[in-house]
Amino acid sequence: MYFEIGIVNFDTNSATMTVQENYSLKKFNTFGIDAYSRYFATFNTVEQLKELLSDNKLGQTERLILGGGSNILFTKNFDGITLKNNLKGIEIVKEDTNHYYIKAAAGEVWHEFVMHCVNNNYAGLENLSLIPGCVGASPMQNIGAYGVEIKDSFFELEALHIADKTIQTFNNADCKFGYRESVFKRELKNQFIILSVTYRLNKTANFNTSYGAIEKELETMGIKELNIQAISKAVCNIRSSKLPNPAEIGNAGSFFKNPEVSRHKYESLKVSFPTIVGYELENGNVKLAAGWLIEQCGWKGKTLGDAGVHKLQALVLVNYANAKGKEIYDLSQQIMDSVKEKYGVELEREVNIL
C-alpha cells in the first residue's frame, strides 16, 4: 500500500521542487489509465534532475521518466518515483550548405516541434506530423510514419547517465536504431535520461509522398505545387481521419509492431491467404501489415468492456471510458494469440508495458 498523500520540498539553486506522494498518473498517459506513482516530481532544468537523482531517499527507488506518456500502458501502480520531463527549448546550433542542425529539449511536444520546423522550412520531419509524445521519446522509439523514421534525420542527442550524473553525447551509430528500437530500449535501458535531440534537416526538401495515402490526399487537397507544408497537412488529415484523438478516446496509437517474416514464410502464407498485405525489405524478408492480420481475425471494432479495438484502425487499442490497464493488456494478448493461431505469426507490442 502507498503512503498517504504528502509533499516534500527541495531547495536547489534553480528553483524549489515539489515531490508528491501517491500521485495519479491519469493525465500523464494517453490511455488515461488511473495508475498511481509512489512519488512524483517534475524537472524543468538539468540541475533539478540531478538533485532529484542524488537525493538519498529518492535516488535509490525505481525511476520512471515520462514525457508525453503516449507509448506506455500502466497495468498496475508504480512503486517508485515518476519524473516528468519538462525541459524546453529549440535552437539552431549550426548550419552548412545543405542542412540546418536543430536542437530541441526532450520535454518539447513532438508535434509542436515538427510544426516549428515545417513553418520555418526545415525539411525532413513533415511526414512525422501529429505523432503524440515528446521529443525525448523520438530517438528512444525511433518513431516513424509514412515512409520516414527518426534515424533518417537524427544527428545526435545528449543524455544524462543516471549512475554518475555525467552528460554524454550519442551519434546516429551509437543509438543502434532499429524498427521502433534503439540502444536505449535494449542494452542501455534505464541507464540514461535523454535531455535533448539534434536533427539534421534539409534546406532543400526531398519529398516523400509514395507511402500510404499521401498522394491521394494531396490530390484531394488540390495541391499544385508540392511543399513540406502541404505534406504535413496531408499527413495530419490522414491521421485525424483514421486515428482517435487521445484527448477524446484513450489510446497510444499503434499498439503492435508490423511483424517481419522470411520470404519463404510469406510465400507460404500467400498460398492460403492470397490477399495478405506484405512489403519487401532490403534484407530479403517481408514486413506484414499487423493491422490487416488483426482485422482478418475479426477484432476490428470489437469491445470487451471499456477496452476495445478501434473501429477504423485495428492496430489501435482504446480505452473507451474507465478500462483498467490490465484489461487492455489482456485484450492485446487475446489478439496476439488469435493471430498466432491463424497465421503462425507472432505479434510484438510496440507500447511499453508497466
Which one of 38, 63, 180, 200 is the catalytic residue?
Answer: 180
- DSSP character for 16? E
Alpha-carbon dihedral angle through residues 121, 179, 143, 147, given to the nearest 10 degrees: 40
HSE-up of residue 104 (Cα within 13 Å, Cβ side): 25
Whole-number Å distance between alpha carbons of 242 and 238: 6
Which one of 129, 182, 254, 332 is the catalytic residue?
Answer: 254
- Residue 15 neighbours by CB under 8 Å, 6+ apart: 44, 45, 48
Residue 206 C-alpha from the chain's centroid: 24
CA-closest candidate to residue 150, choices 177, 173, 123? 177
Q: ∠ at Cα 44 (43, 45), nearest 5°?
A: 100
* DSSP-H helix ranges across 133-255: 137-141, 172-175, 214-221, 228-242
Judge whether 240 counts as a catalytic residue. Answer: no
Judge whether 254 counts as a catalytic residue. Answer: yes
Judge whether 215 counts as a catalytic residue. Answer: no
Q: Is 175 within 8 Å of 184 (Cβ atoms)?
A: yes
Give catalytic residues, as residue numbers: 180, 254, 350
